[in-house]
Structure 1
Amino acid sequence: MPRSLSAQHDRFALNRPFRIARGVKTAADVVTVTIMQDGHVGRGEGVPYPRYGESIAVTLAEIARVQDAIEAGADRQALLGLLRPGAARNAIDCALWDLEAKIAGSTVAALIGAPAPVALASALTVVIDTPEAMAQAAAAIATAPLIKVKVDADAPAAQIRAVVNAAPDAALIVDPNEGWDRAVLENMQDMLVELRVALLEQPVPSGADAWLAGFKSAVPICADELVHTADDLDQVAARYQYVNIKLDKAGGLTAALDLAAAASARGLGLMTGCMVSSSLSIAPALHVARLCAFVDLDGPVWLAEDRPGGVTDAGGILSPPSPGFWGS
């Protein structure tokens, strides 16, 4: 039976607004790719991100442009040369991994040569709000081992302190989403130490961060928007101590695993993250998560309704999806 590919826009309403320094969203808009061959079905999901010039329409158009090649048998390695890193390539790559495992009667973990995913600590996110509201949100997840705090440049110290006071035992990732400048970062150094922040994620714009090469931060700084694939590591390694590996940025699990290996070889620490998404985005990312010191895969926690059989969170411990959901 010939291979066939289809792609569609799916929308998942959120259970509450997701507010960061860049804006607020109330739904997760994703592109779902399905590839069928010999009675087997592989699925993948990509989340277009406007920060990188992506949209649902752009992503669907990119997928359509390579549909004939994929249906003719192009594999994951060929895909790397057909599409740029991004949501379209991610959705196809993950669908091909899923399909490959099912055709082989195996699992993605076995194809990689890695253990099957297991439950692990994954950050729960407190989004930007008043310090009082952020404290209330943090109190509700105070037993989680890891909390990510979204902040802006207006009152970051008050925002972080509110979360720390409400959840004093959790490790903290602070994420300004490029919202700070050099002055704010320098002024926040003592506060970050006082509040026991474990990791600071992309505090300044990736296009205005060259000065970080000579900056001695009191806490480790993680590159997010700056790093997409292993090709970015020359710049990243001089400026940051960690990299945030996201499948939608790397353009799939294939490229993400390459990035993880290359970053580790340079002595960079690893984090994995996600967009606000369904569990179909998270299942492949679990194969990167096992390599990382920090895991932030709570995208489906924000959905009013996830895909059936997806990952589950219990107090900041994320469990893999049901057998057969993806990659098995």
Structure 2
Amino acid sequence: MTVALEVRTDSWPIAGGFTIARGSRTHAHVVTVTLREGPDTGRGECVPYARYGESVEGVMADIEKMGPEIERGLTREALQQAMPAGAARNALDCAFWDLEAKRSGVPAFRAAGVDTPHDMLTAFTISLGTPDKMAADTAKAKDRPLLKVKLGGDGDPARIAAVRQAAPDARLIVDANEAWSADTFAENMAACVAAGVELIEQPLPSDSDSILATLERPIPVCADESLHTSADLERLAPLYDAVNIKLDKTGGVTEALVLLEKARAMDFKVMVGCMLGTSLAMAPATLPAQQADYVDLDAPLLLERDREPGLVFSGSMISPPVADLWG
């Protein structure tokens, strides 16, 4: 039976906006893929990211080019060679996983080797701003067990101190999004040590992170923009202590699971993170997140509204997705 491809774009408003070191956003622009085979439907969502040279229009065009191949019987396994890693392949890969689950009756978790999925604690993101603004935002979220603090370079010691004062009992991780430099690394690291931060994401630009091999790392440092697929791990091993697996970078669940297994074998700590999308983008990421040290899949909590049905959040705990959403 022929599999038909549908592609569309959707825009979801962000509650209060979202700011990181590279800029601010008011909406999450996503691309949604639907694969139809008879009565069965599989869906996937991706978030094109300009940092990696992606746009909504370009990603949609790359996906639509695969339509004839899909009609001729392209499989999820063959997709891994047919497209490069990135957002476009992610949406298709996740839609294939969902379609396979729907037509077989075997949940995606079981197909991935997880018999009984468990609830997961997600980090909750504090957007970049002035120390006073970040303290005010943190005060509203101070009862959440794990906060992820966006930093921006200059002024970060004051930001992290303000956040810690506003949430004295929360666990903290920080994400600099490549905004630190070799000159500011030591001062910013010391501020994080003083605040009891337990993980620092991507402090330096990916094209100059080799200097991490020479810097003191009293807090584990996690690769995000420097990591895309399992092929990157050998280079990163001397530089980083942890890796952030995102499906829009790996090109889907299939490679994410390969990356997870290899990272574990190399003794990396593992975070499973996300771009700013809906529950349809988060749901497939809950597969590798079952084995992660850190989970950062809070994007639906940052939107004004989400897909229905969406993931179920109880505070910062995420329940595995229902089949009507994905998998």
TM-score for the superposition, normalised by structure 1 = 0.97
Alignment correspondent of 1:29: 29
Query: Within 1, Cα distance between the matches of 2:314 and 2:155?
Result: 30
Alignment correspondent of 1:281: 281
Q: Secondary structure at the match of 2:227?
A: coil
Query: Within 1, Cα distance between the matches of 2:301 and 2:7?
Result: 24
Structure 1 residue 79, shift from structure 2 partner: 0.4
Residue by residue, what CA displacement relative to the aligned partner does 1:241-296 show, whole Å, maximum 9, x if unpaired? 00000000000000000000111111111001000100000000001111111111
Query: Within 1, Cα distance between the matches of 2:16 and 2:223?
Result: 27
Alignment correspondent of 1:114: 114
2:288 aligned partner, one-letter code? V
Structure 1 residue 119, shift from structure 2 partner: 2.0
Matches within 5 A, 1:197-216: 197-216=197-216
1:232 correspondence with 2:232:
yes
Query: Within 2, Cα distance between the matches of 1:131 and 1:285?
Result: 32
Alignment correspondent of 1:82: 82
Does the CA-based 8 Å contact 1:144-1:317 persist in structure 2? no
Q: Secondary structure at the match of 2:45?
A: strand
Structure 1 residue 40, shift from structure 2 partner: 0.1
Matches within 5 A, 1:40-189: 40-189=40-189
Query: Within 1, Cα distance between the matches of 2:75 and 2:162?
Result: 49
Does the CA-based 8 Å contact 2:157-2:187 persist in structure 1? no
Q: For structure 1, list consecutive stretches of 5 or more residues without a partner in the other structure.
A: none
Does the CA-based 8 Å contact 2:161-2:191 persist in structure 1? no
Does the CA-based 8 Å contact 1:309-1:321 persist in structure 2? no
Residue by residue, what CA displacement relative to the aligned partner does 1:8-65 show, whole Å, maximum 9, x if unpaired? 1111111111000000000000000000112100000010000000000110111112
Change in CA separation of 1:16 and 1:312 when aligned onto 2, cut-off 3 Å: farther
Does the CA-based 8 Å contact 2:121-2:316 persist in structure 1? yes
Structure 1 residue 116, shift from structure 2 partner: 4.0
Q: Secondary structure at the match of 1:240?
A: coil
Alignment correspondent of 1:321: 321
Alignment correspondent of 1:194: 194
Query: What is the alpha-carbon root mean square deviation over aligned residues?
Result: 1.1
Query: Within 2, Cα distance between the matches of 1:136 and 1:117?
Result: 35
Q: Secondary structure at the match of 2:35?
A: strand
- Number of residue pairs matched? 327
Residue by residue, what CA displacement relative to the aligned partner does 1:44-98 show, whole Å, maximum 9, x if unpaired? 0010000000000110111112111122221111001111111100000000000
TM-score for the superposition, normalised by structure 2 = 0.98
Does the CA-based 8 Å contact 1:244-1:271 persist in structure 2? yes
Alignment correspondent of 1:9: 9
Does the CA-based 8 Å contact 1:85-1:250 persist in structure 2? yes
Structure 1 residue 177, shift from structure 2 partner: 0.4
Alignment correspondent of 2:268: 268
2:261 aligned partner, one-letter code? A
* 210-219 or 232-241, which deviates more: 210-219
* 223-232 or 181-190, which deviates more: 181-190
